[in-house]
Amino acid sequence: MRLLLVEDDDVIARGVAEALGRAGFLIDRAADGEDAWVRGGDEDYDAVVLDLGLPRLDGLTVLKRWRGEGRSFPIIILSARGGWLEKVEGIEAGADDYLAKPFEPAELVARVRALVRRSAGLSDAVLRFGKLTLDTRRMQANVAGADINLSPLEYRLLDALAHSRGRPLAAPELSEALHGTEALEANAIEALVARLRRKLGSGIVETRRGFGYILADA
């Protein structure tokens, strides 16, 4: 899952990035509103964490521009402006959630995960695809009752497939989900999928020829 973190405070940004990185997210950071607006216009992020008090272009303006341009990724505002009027203004401008500073990193992670699930049409933190179960809180895969030991990269690949809204993901899309702009070669994605299949067993990660990869029963 790729996430854009828009925060000008280096200390806060570092703490948020570490918490979300441990939760399996691949983080891009923008430190001002202009950079955020451009990145959000060019990239299909799974979610955005957006501060309001930004240099060059304030966060509310960035939010309104994105929504006006048809950008539909889920957005959670993270701001020191915690009054109810500010919250109402942010939600009405197109934000999906609002978390006031100071905050607990675990709460932010839980809210971001919930936004990503809802965006994918999912309601439970535990996702089921036939004999595969994916617990997104524990970052743990289970097949037919047995836990599967996955590397961080293998987990992120499986997580991307689980949140694909039932749509096959081609190698370039998976590369972007795993490494952002540092694209992997198609054969590297194929090798990673092969490793994941060996661990999960047959019949779970399917190939739709000409379209990409999808989970069975997605």
pLDDT tens digits along 25-39: 999 999 999 999 999
Residues 108 and 131 occupy one common structural domain: no
Residues 165 and 85 occupy one common structural domain: no
Residues 102 and 133 occupy one common structural domain: no
CA distance 90 to 94: 7
Residues 57 and 84 occupy one common structural domain: yes
Per-residue confidence at 121, pLDDT binned at 50, 70, 90? confident
pLDDT at 73 over 70: yes
Range of the domain at 208: 126-215
Domain count, the chain: 2
Listed residues 119, 143, 173: the one ending a domain: 119
Residues 84 and 160 occupy one common structural domain: no
pLDDT of residue 165: 85
Contact 144, 200 (CB under 8 A): no
Which CATH number belongs to the domain containing residue 29 in this structure? 3.40.50.2300
CA distance 107 to 50: 15
